[in-house]
């Protein structure tokens, strides 16, 4: 299929994306409350793209093809189901039980924030999914933070940081598989060498969350006064989801069974009545209940995702991303440091333009292979530069899905007196990714972690 062409060439192809980034940036610095505020910005960017496209029919087809990808439907389905699990668990008193448990363990303020970071690290490493970790842990850990004296923004950042950790180190993470696969390196060896990058970043993050994660006092709320272990049986629901993911089952299967477990336990234990889960309102010709409330909670981020993926698809269809990162690497001999700079710069540009970590790795993989191999870089080193780099920007900048999803998860804290955290705030307090970004720069400048040892055969 011929690439899309735009008026004014590459500038015209980039203009809609620039418009989107400028709008999101302004809203982020203005303290945009949630992802709903991004909808008009995306619609304006899409309209600009349509007007600039030379073949508007082809542009529309590229837009719809991007929106209809299975990964998009997977994310939306996951957000809908996770919203139901979180809503049912909250109504069942799980947040009050979590506050009670934190008190029994003497976790408060920064201690609770650090514990939340570690819990999310474990879940994300075990499951290999940052999105899943935010969906499962965010709505449960965040509301309980206020009553135990946790600083809201730092707690949101800790949840996001813990989710990032697993994405950057788990052997079953999609970025780990993509980075090692494109460079011909075995996953085990790649992960072992990556510890030199991620463990220092995690250690610094943990210390920061202990030191800065507390407030001068707990948030006064009914959750704090009603703290009780009564809702602890609801732990079975998220444990069910995590256990199924660890067994390699599909995310949708795990979440559907998690919804079933949450509803059965909540009703069976007498924590909520059936009428609270689902009920008809004939007088107003509508239905209501926790299931509907939970799915409604996912509406904002779902619409944002569909529109954003469509916008990115039109940019990719122009072939501009590949042209920007490819460069002319066949006419010069690359030094080790120059090759690393080129690899990091190329994958940075790809992920900033496509907003998708795996797509960025796949786009730059061949380039990293050619110039990195010619410079004598180990496949392990090339794979780790690719992976560690894409685990920074998408977890820091407010127009990427992880900070937006974290912001959406913090809406669950309203009943506990916790404020909604913006994507910008969540990214700014993701200490892990900020330190990881510094480590990437340090690694390229100083050679830290550089490995020129030939790899073992791939797993």
pLDDT at site 21: 82
pLDDT at site 102: 80
33 and 410 Cβ atoms separated by less than 8 Å: no
- CA–CA separation, 117 and 129 (whole Å): 15
pLDDT at site 89: 83
456 — pLDDT class (breaks 50, 70, 90): very low
- CA–CA separation, 10 and 320 (whole Å): 7
pLDDT at site 36: 76
pLDDT at site 328: 54
327 — pLDDT class (breaks 50, 70, 90): low
Q: What is the pLDDT of residues 338-372, one digit of tens each?
A: 889 999 999 998 888 877 787 788 878 888 888 88
27 — pLDDT class (breaks 50, 70, 90): confident
What tokens does 236 get?
Answer: 């079975």
Lowest mean pLDDT among 47-51, 245-249, 304-308: 245-249
More confident residue, 7 or 99: 7
Most distant CA atoms of the chain, gap in Å: 76
Please state, rounded to an integer, the average pLDDT across all residues of the chain.
85
Q: What is the pLDDT of residues 168-180, one digit of tens each?
A: 988 878 788 888 8
216 — pLDDT class (breaks 50, 70, 90): low
Q: What is the pLDDT of residues 399-416, one digit of tens each?
A: 888 998 898 889 888 877
| pLDDT exceeds 80 at position 279 | yes
- CA–CA separation, 355 and 342 (whole Å): 19
pLDDT at site 219: 56
pLDDT at site 432: 97
More confident residue, 140 or 324: 140
Left, alpha or beta for 455 (phi > 0: left; psi -120 to 50: alpha)? Answer: beta
pLDDT at site 332: 60
What's the mean pLDDT in 88-105?
Answer: 82
Q: Which residue has the tokens 């506050």?
A: 99
What's the mean pLDDT in 10-25?
Answer: 87
- CA–CA separation, 454 and 314 (whole Å): 39
pLDDT at site 442: 95
256 — pLDDT class (breaks 50, 70, 90): very high
326 — pLDDT class (breaks 50, 70, 90): low
**Backbone φ and ψ of 279, nearest 5°:** -155, 150
What's the mean pLDDT in 218-235?
Answer: 68
Q: Cβ atoms within 10 A of the Cβ of 395, count?
A: 30
Q: Where are the domains of the chain?
A: 70-301+396-439
Q: What is the pLDDT of residues 135-192, one digit of tens each?
A: 888 888 898 888 888 999 999 999 999 999 988 988 878 788 888 888 888 888 888 8
What's the mean pLDDT in 30-53?
Answer: 84
**Dihedral (C-alpha) 17, 22, 23, 28: value to the nearest 10 degrees?**
120
Per-residue CA distances from 337 to 285, 379, 437, 448 (Å): 67, 15, 17, 11
Left, alpha or beta for 285 (phi > 0: left; psi -120 to 50: alpha)? Answer: left
pLDDT at site 200: 96
């Amino acid at each position: 299929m011929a690439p899309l062409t735009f008026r004014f060439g590459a500038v015209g192809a980039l203009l809609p994306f620039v418009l989107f980034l400028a709008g999101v940036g302004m809203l982020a610095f203005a303290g945009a409350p949630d992802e709903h505020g991004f909808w008009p910005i995306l619609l304006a960017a899409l309209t600009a793209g349509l007007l600039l496209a030379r073949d508007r029919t082809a542009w529309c087809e590229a837009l719809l093809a991007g929106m209809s990808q299975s990964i998009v439907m997977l994310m939306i389905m996951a957000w809908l189901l996770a919203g139901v699990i979180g809503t049912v668990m909250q109504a069942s008193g799980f947040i009050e039980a979590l506050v009670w448990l934190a008190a029994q363990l003497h976790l408060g303020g920064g201690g609770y924030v650090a514990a939340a970071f570690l819990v999310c690290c474990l879940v994300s490493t075990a499951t290999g999914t940052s999105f899943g970790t935010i969906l499962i842990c965010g709505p449960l850990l965040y509301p309980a933070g206020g009553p135990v004296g946790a600083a809201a923004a730092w707690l949101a950042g800790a949840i996001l940081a813990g989710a990032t950790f697993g994405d950057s180190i788990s052997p079953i993470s999609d970025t780990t598989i993509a980075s090692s696969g494109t460079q011909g390196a075995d996953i085990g060896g790649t992960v072992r060498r990556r510890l030199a990058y991620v463990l220092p970043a995690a250690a610094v993050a943990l210390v920061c969350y202990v030191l800065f994660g507390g407030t001068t006092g707990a948030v006064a709320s009914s959750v704090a006064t009603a703290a009780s272990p009564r809702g602890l049986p609801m732990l079975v629901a998220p444990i069910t989801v995590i256990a199924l993911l660890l067994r390699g089952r599909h995310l949708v299967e795990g979440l559907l069974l998690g919804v079933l477990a949450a509803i059965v336990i909540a009703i069976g234990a007498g924590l909520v009545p059936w009428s609270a889960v689902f009920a008809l309102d004939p007088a107003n010709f509508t239905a209501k209940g926790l299931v509907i409330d939970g799915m409604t909670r996912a509406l904002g981020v779902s619409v944002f995702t569909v529109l954003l993926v469509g916008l990115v698809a039109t940019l990719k269809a122009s072939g501009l991303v590949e042209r920007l990162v490819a460069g002319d690497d066949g006419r010069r001999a690359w030094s080790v440091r120059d090759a690393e700079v080129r690899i990091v710069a190329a994958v940075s540009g790809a992920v900033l333009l496509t907003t998708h970590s795996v797509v960025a790795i796949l786009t730059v993989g061949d380039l990293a292979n050619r110039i990195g191999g010619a410079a004598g870089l180990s496949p392990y080193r090339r794979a780790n530069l690719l992976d560690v780099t894409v685990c920074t920007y998408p977890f820091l900048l407010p127009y990427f899905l992880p900070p937006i999803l974290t912001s959406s998860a913090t809406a669950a804290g309203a009943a506990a007196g916790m404020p909604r955290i913006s994507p910008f705030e969540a990214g700014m307090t993701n200490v892990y990714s900020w330190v990881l970004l510094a480590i990437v720069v340090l690694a390229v400048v100083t050679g830290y972690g550089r490995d020129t040892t030939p790899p073992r055969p791939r797993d």
